[in-house]
Amino acid sequence: MSATQTSAGSRAARRASRRPQVQHLITADEHSLADLELALATLPMCAVGRVFIEVPEQSDVGVVVAPPRMTVTWLPRARRQAAPRAIGEALTRAAVAWSDEMLCDDSAGGLRTEVILLGGWLSTADIAEHLTAAHAVPADAIHAPAHYGLSLD
């Protein structure tokens, strides 16, 4: 093996070691903002992924501190002009759409997915069911408040 090939191989190994190994999906609503802030504070600065936060009105949109490579999306329920969405509907739709795009056909590129579901019980149950059934996300990779009593086994 030539020195050029060795150098190119070591550069590729360094690039691969810097790639994220885990992507995160985090959901929350207006009742779980304190838990959301705590969860985000525990993530490493290099964390990648998506945060969806459902709130009643546009005026409820605020600022949350997240790692730079995490995308935060606020979902005001009243934003729809026809009729406001039911509580949890926007959150469920967003998380399911994200998972269908990011977790289909092994497009995650070998990334492990860790999920924190802090929204209401109904959206949490629907999202967890979709992730485990449609995308084979392991139940132990999905975290939700214990008082929801979700059985993901």
User: In tens digits, what is the pLDDT along the chain, a chain of 153 residues?
Assistant: 555 555 666 665 555 455 568 999 999 999 999 999 999 999 999 999 999 999 999 999 999 999 999 999 999 988 766 566 788 999 999 999 999 999 976 555 678 999 999 998 889 999 999 999 999 999 999 999 888 877 665
Q: pTM value? A: 0.83
Q: Do the Cβ atoms of 128 and 152 come closer than 8 Å?
A: yes
pLDDT at 109: 60
Q: What is the pLDDT of residues 103-115, one digit of tens each?
A: 976 555 678 999 9
The whole-angstrom separation of Cα 92 and Cα 105 is 21
Q: Do the Cβ atoms of 111 and 85 come closer than 8 Å?
A: no
Domains of the chain: 20-148 (3.40.50.80)
> Closest Cα to residue 88, out of 136, 123, 44?
123
DSSP state of 43: S
pLDDT at 105: 61
> Closest Cα to residue 131, out of 108, 106, 107, 98?
98
> How far is residue 97 from each of residues 38, 105, 146, 148, measured CA to CA in Å?
25, 14, 25, 23
pLDDT at 9: 63
